[in-house]
Amino acid sequence: MILAVEDDPWIRLFQIILDPATPPARTAAFAHFVAHDLPDFSGWLTRLRENVGSLYPSEVRLVKDEADFTANLAGATVAAVESFAVGEKEIAAADGALKIVQKYGAVTTSIDRAACERAGVRVLTLKRRANVATAEHAFALMLALARKIHASANRISVEQLQAAGYDPAVFDRTHTANGNWGRVLNTLTLYRRQIGIVGMGEIGREMALRAHAFGMRIVYTQRHRLSGREETDYHASYATLDDLLAQSDVVSLHLPDTASTRGIISGRELSVLKRGALLINISQPLLIDRAALLDALASGRIGGFGLDVPYDEPGRADDPLLGFPNVVITPHLGASPRQNSLDDFIEMLTNLARALGTV
């Protein structure tokens, strides 16, 4: 069997799992990549292969771009894509062999489902656990900044709080409650606050679901507006980028790293940002111009900044962003643990094998 697969770091697992011709160096590199969460990668591969029947072994053609994808569809039974388009042209390029389009995700905007249906090609999707984990991590950063957890955690004595610059008090419990006796300033309640989601793709939509559960008002912006039904499903209203920045209490970025998105938040956009807003970036750091970000933090315009992927990987202990008390940076933890994506592949390949009748 032949699979034409979009070449992306995680989706390369198709090759490692199914194609015996996979270079040993790639398998070894992936084993090292997952070792802290899955020490027995070899055993995991064996168990999964046993559960997909004659789907293993297969020829897996990894393709770099859409032109290469079309060129490699001849004879392919399965096309596995994350962002590539699939329509009449791609279906025709498979010469009648294509049976299934596997979307590595749940949003099928780039797939012409009507064309697939006419050609008798099934479309399978996957709600990726890694996307859910990434949205959870964005909320963790948001909550840490809103509730000042990053600044107050483990500071529970008068001496610790004073050393951190707080002015703890002793209240007269005969008359008052004892909440926030450490006098931690400027905490924020998310309920009824507005969140602006920049990019309503897979992770942005997961973010919207969680924001709604918190009772937040949700606005979003992206190149293509959602349908009315989708806006209703996600309780979201469309806004221009400038309006979103100017009116939102929290801004969360959910865009891919491309030439058109790098620096999408620069000095001009940061000058529009609502004063005191929280800015969360769990996508790629280069979405935000670094020099402009440092200036905005120094000016006090940004109420808090949360970043998952540092500008340098590995990060630097002398990163100037670490000098601001209202910044939280984590070392690329968003989709973790690895088991999220590994379980995605167990589900995806098991369902694919069933759909193909190989088990």
Q: Are 15 and 26 in contact (CB under 8 A)?
A: yes
Residue 165, classified by CB atoms within 10 Å of its CB into exposed (0-12), middle (13-18) or buried (19+), is exposed
- Who's near 124: CB < 8 A, 6+ residues apart? 100, 101, 102, 103, 348, 351, 352, 355
pLDDT digits (tens, 9 = 90+) for 181-220: 999 999 999 999 999 999 999 999 999 999 999 999 999 9
At 136, is the pLDDT very low, low, confident or very high (cuts 50, 70, 90)? very high
Q: In whole angstroms, what is the distance from residue 353 CA to residue 41 CA?
A: 21
Q: At what angle do helices 41-50 and 339-356 cross, to 10 degrees?
A: 20
Question: Shortest CA distance to 103 belongs to which of 15, 18, 30, 11?
Answer: 11
Q: What is the pTM of this model?
A: 0.94
Superfamily of domain 2-125 in the CATH hierarchy: NAD(P)-binding Rossmann-like Domain (3.40.50.720)
At 142, is the pLDDT very low, low, confident or very high (cuts 50, 70, 90)? very high
DSSP 270-294: HHHSPTT-EEEE-S-GGGB-HHHHH
Q: Are 124 and 101 in contact (CB under 8 A)?
A: yes
Average pLDDT, the chain: 97
At 222, is the pLDDT very low, low, confident or very high (cuts 50, 70, 90)? very high
Q: Domain ranges for the chain, please list them.
A: 2-125, 131-147+188-329
Domain 131-147+188-329: which CATH number of 3.40.50.720, 3.40.630.10, 3.90.1150.10, 1.50.10.10: 3.40.50.720
For 171: left if phi > 0, alpha if psi spans -120 to 50, otherwise beta; the answer is beta
Q: What is the mean pLDDT of residues 20-47?
A: 98
Beta bridge partners, 78, equal 3, 100
DSSP 187: -
Question: Shortest CA distance to 253 belongs to which of 288, 302, 295, 303?
Answer: 288
Q: Do domains 2-125 and 131-147+188-329 have the same CATH topology?
A: yes
Q: Are 218 and 190 in contact (CB under 8 A)?
A: no
pLDDT digits (tens, 9 = 90+) for 284-339: 999 999 999 999 999 999 999 999 999 999 999 999 999 999 999 999 999 999 99
* Helix (H/G/I), strand (E/B), else coil: 93: helix
